[in-house]
Structure 1
Amino acid sequence: MSIKTYLDSTYLKTPEQAGISNSDTLDKVRALAVEAMENGIYAVMIRPDYVRSVRELLDENKSDVILGTVIGFHEGTYDLNEKLREAQKAIADGADELDFVVNFEAFKKGEIEKVTEEIETCTTVALREGRVVKWIIETAALSDEQIVAITQLIRDIVLEKIGEQYASHVFVKSSTGFYKTPNGEPNGANEHVIQLMLDNAGPLPVKASGGVRNIEEAKKMIRLGVKRIGTSSALAIANGEQTSGGY
């Protein structure tokens, strides 16, 4: 098992969240890309503002590192047109993969038609451009029943409205890593919620994101059946180091 081929190395803090400048943030995401290139990390996942610069860096180095970005991050409540504008710009800037935050708040309110339209429309636009899509469902904001239901909804939209031939290109992803939980409870992937997703996503693949902090946890997720893992400590995990906190 090569852990590195499963890892998406992420830096998703805004300059304001990190207390640094925009140029310092750009330096960080470019350094992340260099680290991925030098160490065989499968992908880097960054905010949309930095995609063009990192695309140029990867291309200059003829790198096959996958470049991903997030859409509607992290609240997921952007309206459909906002998500489409952000997605189309990311595609034009050279993103290979688009990780959309589903409007889980609308889903929880029972606005299923709204959520269905969002998933079908955004997925279709990205697939048409040859991109991989991941839908972040924010498991920490959902009950077990809601995790099952929204996972099944994404699966059914892809299979019934888009086409089963695209199933391997549309992931269900657990978490943003930024959701504020009560009392500081875990807000990312854990074995229980990942198993719920795996049981209900197939044939769509699952990405575990948030909370995977060492190589044993990563291996456990892979044994369960996840195809990708998102972490802000990709190289440390690959090197067998214990990490703490963060995404």
Structure 2
Amino acid sequence: MNIKQYLDSTYLKTPDQAGISVEEDLTVVMSFIQEAIHEQFKLIMIRPNHVALAKKMINDAKSKLTIGTVISFPEGTNSLEEKLAEANQAIVDGVDDLDFVCNYQAFKNGTIDLVKKEILEGTKLGLEHHKIVKWIIEVAALSDDQIIQLSALIKNVVMDNFKESSFSSVFVKSSTGFFKTQDGLPNGATVHTIIMMLENASPLPVKAAGGVRTYDEAVEMIQLGVKRIGTSSAKAIANGMEANGAY
């Protein structure tokens, strides 16, 4: 197993969140991109404003590394128009994967038509431009029943509106890694939540993001059936060490 081809090396903190300057942040982002190129990970996951930089670095290195970014991150409450505009700009800048934060608050409030509409239109935009699309459902904010229902809703929208050949390009993703939980509860992927997602999103693939901290945990997720793993400690995990990042 080449575990590196499952790993989306991830850096999504803003300068404020990291407690550093904009210039220092740029240095950190560039180091993550360079590391991902060198380590031959599947993808580098960064904020939208860094996509063009990543594209240039990857092209200069003649690397096969792909680029992912997050849309409406981390709350997912932007309007559909705002989400599509942000995704469109990322496409122009050279992105390969679009990870939309699903409006899970609207889902929890019963505004199901809004959620269906954004899944339909966001997926359509990505697929029309030959991009991978992922829908982040934020499992730590949902009950088990809600995880099951939202995973199934995404699956049904995709299966009802797109060709079977597209299904492998639309993921259901567990977490942003930024949700604030109480009492130290996990804010990312767990075996329990991933099993529910796999059972209810299939045939769509699943990405486990947040909470995968060791090589053995990553292997366990892959053996369960996940196709991607998001982590800010991809190099540590690939080398058999425990993750030292928060995501």
Question: TM above 0.5, one fold?
Answer: yes
Instruction: Give the corresponding residue for 1:90.
Output: 90
Contact 1:208 1:229 in 2 (8 A): yes
Contact 1:159 1:167 in 2 (8 A): yes
- What one-letter code is carried by the residue in structure 2 that aligns with 1:41? F
Contact 1:70 1:98 in 2 (8 A): yes
Instruction: Give the corresponding residue for 2:188.
Output: 188
Shift of 1:36: 1.1
Secondary structure of the structure 1 residue equivalent to 2:91: helix
Of 156-165 and 87-96, the range deviating more from structure 2 = 156-165
Cα-Cα RMSD:
0.8
Shift of 1:183: 1.6
Question: Structure 1, residues 126-183: CA drift from partner, whole Å, max 9, x if none?
Answer: 1101110000000000001000000001101111012222100000000000000112
1:10-29 paired onto structure 2 within 5 Å: 10-29=10-29
Instruction: Give the corresponding residue for 1:108.
Output: 108
Whether 1:45 aligns to 2:74 is no
CA–CA distance in 1 between the matches of 2:226 and 2:144?
18
Contact 2:233 2:245 in 1 (8 A): no
1:214-233 paired onto structure 2 within 5 Å: 214-233=214-233
Contact 1:120 1:162 in 2 (8 A): no
Secondary structure of the structure 2 residue equivalent to 1:182: coil
- What one-letter code is carried by the residue in structure 2 that aligns with 1:48? P
Secondary structure of the structure 2 residue equivalent to 1:184: coil
Shift of 1:112: 0.5
Gaps of 5+ in 1: none
Q: How many residues align?
A: 247
Instruction: Give the corresponding residue for 1:135.
Output: 135
CA–CA distance in 1 between the matches of 2:223 and 2:26?
35
Gaps of 5+ in 2: none
CA–CA distance in 1 between the matches of 2:26 and 2:217?
30
Instruction: Give the corresponding residue for 1:124.
Output: 124
Instruction: Give the corresponding residue for 1:211.
Output: 211
CA–CA distance in 2 between the matches of 1:123 and 1:27?
32
Shift of 1:245: 5.0
Contact 2:139 2:174 in 1 (8 A): yes
Shift of 1:60: 1.1
Secondary structure of the structure 2 residue equivalent to 1:183: coil
Instruction: Give the corresponding residue for 2:99.
Output: 99
Shift of 1:31: 1.1
Secondary structure of the structure 2 residue equivalent to 1:194: helix
Whether 1:235 aligns to 2:235 is yes
Instruction: Give the corresponding residue for 1:201.
Output: 201
Question: Structure 1, residues 12-36: CA drift from partner, whole Å, max 9, x if none?
Answer: 0001101112222122111111111
- What one-letter code is carried by the residue in structure 2 that aligns with 1:50? H
| Percent identity (aligned) | 55
Q: Which runs of 4+ in 1 moved over 2 A?
A: none
CA–CA distance in 2 between the matches of 1:212 and 1:99?
18
Shift of 1:244: 4.2
- What one-letter code is carried by the residue in structure 1 that aligns with 2:218? A
- What one-letter code is carried by the residue in structure 2 that aligns with 1:173? K
Of 223-232 and 26-35, the range deviating more from structure 2 = 26-35
- What one-letter code is carried by the residue in structure 2 that aligns with 1:51? V
Instruction: Give the corresponding residue for 2:173.
Output: 173
TM-score of the two chains, using structure 1 as the length reference: 0.98
Contact 1:7 1:41 in 2 (8 A): yes
TM-score of the two chains, using structure 2 as the length reference: 0.98
- What one-letter code is carried by the residue in structure 2 that aligns with 1:168? S
- What one-letter code is carried by the residue in structure 1 that aligns with 2:207? K
CA–CA distance in 2 between the matches of 1:169 and 1:26?
30
